[in-house]
Amino acid sequence: MATKRTPVSLLKILLVEDNPAHAELITRSLEDHEIPSDIFHVNDGEKALDFLYRRGQFANLAENTLPNVILLDIRMPKMSGLEVLKEIKLSPSLRHIPVIMLTTSEAEQDVSAAYKNYANSYLVKPVEFSKFIELMEEIGYYWLGWNHHKLA
């Protein structure tokens, strides 16, 4: 049985999720699995880009607030996750940030569009609570523990 690696660095995660229950579940799961992280949560695509570009209500954020990873839902108000993904990956200052599509959509056109726009991973949120928790644990250990990333 493999030993799970505990991350040693504090990770900055941008969670882009419009469903408050899903956002809470994701945040609690990462905390419960002792993933040392700062989680910044926004509930729509426009706010995600405002956060990343330090515009509007995020204009005064420190330079070191760029996330190490982005968890991005697809179906959101104002601007879809696919539109946000496309803008992130077109930006020379943001394209290095891994983007994990974390969505309920299993539609082939969404999966294809995500990878066409350089998503680093596409994960479907399970309906069953225990499976959702298991997925979040695996995200924590793989993307935030095992995976080497740039610490801004």
| pTM score of the predicted model | 0.85
Provide the residue count of the chain.
152
Average pLDDT, stretch 119-140?
A: 84
- What is the tens place of the pLDDT at every residue in 39-95? 899 999 999 999 999 999 999 887 778 898 999 999 998 899 999 999 999 999 999
The percent of residues in the chain predicted with pLDDT above 70, rounded, is 83
The answer to whether the CB of 15 falls within 8 A of the CB of 26 is: yes
| Structural domains of the chain, ranges and CATH numbers in brackets | 11-98+128-146 (3.40.50.2300)
Please choose, from the candidates 100, 20, 23, 91, the residue with its C-alpha nearest in 3D space to the C-alpha of residue 54: 91
The answer to whether the CB of 44 falls within 8 A of the CB of 23 is: no
**Is 25 a residue whose pLDDT tops 70?**
yes
Q: Where are the alpha helices (DSSP H) in 1-152?
A: 20-32, 45-53, 81-90, 108-116, 129-141
Round to whole Å and give the CA distance between 14 and 36. Answer: 14
pLDDT at 43: 96
Round to whole Å and give the CA distance between 51 and 48. Answer: 5
Average pLDDT, stretch 127-141?
A: 79
Residue 39 tokens read as: 């989680």
pLDDT at 10: 72
Buried (b) or exposed (e) across 5-14, using 16+ Cβ within 10 A? Answer: eebeeebbbb
The answer to whether the CB of 119 falls within 8 A of the CB of 101 is: yes
Round to whole Å and give the CA distance between 118 and 88. Answer: 10
Please choose, from the candidates 65, 57, 77, the residue with its C-alpha nearest in 3D space to the C-alpha of residue 40: 65
pLDDT at 139: 74
